[in-house]
Amino acid sequence: MSTLLPIYYQIKQTIKSWLMNKDYQPGQKIPSENELSAIFQVSKMTVRQAINQLVQEGLLISRRGSGTFVSQKKEVADKYSIEFIGSMDQIFHQAQRAKTKFVVIEKVIAPNSLRNKLNLPKEEREVIQIKRVRSSKDTAFSYAVNYLPLDIGLKIDKKEISHRPLLQILEKDFRISFTEAYQTIEASFSDIEISEKLGIPLGTPMLFVDRIMYTGLQKPVLVAHLSYRSDMFKYVARFKTTQESPA
């Protein structure tokens, strides 16, 4: 976690990202204060401060004796997000523009939130994790952590992914046709791992992108956690009216 932001605020933003990414559905119970304290390695008081703010904002509902639940009010869930619809070609074009400087591929135990995103069966506990540093004009600007189911991830060759975009390998070599992607974008600061990999000071402003990519029939295949230097990367959105403005 960043040393520049209060711990309770970082926990609040993490839980909010869980809700925006739909790791927990409306009406679903989130982990208890004890469980969250263990996850974040902080006191229950710090967790409670984060939870109380999310309750005040209407994203969570606290029920005495039962726990804390995700709000079921659609207008509240939509309050913190704006949906943009774009072309899948934009994601592929973006991936082809960067070069890979560093690659680590390993098998890891997947937390429940990741298993839910990949829609893994209960008996499948492991996934393939691929960490990469991406560069442009010899300057590292992004740190990507990708997760794939074992049946796909075990086929990834380290030499290939060092020279070609992962999406290209999945599409061209494995014949995986991506039809849809869902992603969230959040501003924050670099932690120790990101700072070391990108060679930047701790607490550097960053853009964090969480992305889930789907094939036909809404099957999730790839989960990506992407960290971009905000001084070298930006998203641009253009808005147009779809109907005549009211008089």
pTM for the predicted model, two decimal places:
0.64
The residues, ordered by sequence, that sit 6+ positions from 221 with a Cβ below 8 Å of its Cβ are 118, 148, 149, 152, 170, 176, 178, 213, 214, 215
Residue 44, pLDDT above cutoff 50: yes
- For the stretch 98-144, pLDDT in tens is 688 889 999 999 988 888 889 898 889 999 999 999 887 788 889 99
Helix, strand or coil, per DSSP, at residue 4? coil
Instruction: Tell me how far apart the alpha carbons of residues 197 and 132 are, in angstroms, rounded to a whole number.
Output: 9
H runs (alpha helix) in 80-157: 88-96, 112-118, 150-153
Handedness of CA 143, 112, 185, 243 (dihedral sign): positive
pLDDT for res 39 = 87
CATH of domain 7-77: 1.10.10.10
The angle at the Cα of 105, spanning 104 to 110, to the nearest 5 degrees, equals: 120
- CB distance 31 to 67 below 8 Å: no
Instruction: Give the amino acid at 60.
Output: L
Which strand (E) or helix (H) includes residue 160?
helix 158-163
Domain with CATH 3.40.1410.10 in the chain: 88-229
For 19-43, b where at least 16 C-beta lie within 10 A, e where not — what string?
Answer: bebbbbeeeeebbebeebbeebebe
pLDDT in tens, 53-109: 888 888 899 998 889 999 887 555 555 554 544 544 444 445 556 688 889 999 999
Helix (H) or strand (E) holding 99: strand 99-109
Strands (E), 137-230: 139-149, 180-189, 205-214, 220-229
CATH of domain 88-229: 3.40.1410.10
Residue 190: per-residue pLDDT: 86
Residue 149 reports pLDDT greater than 90: yes
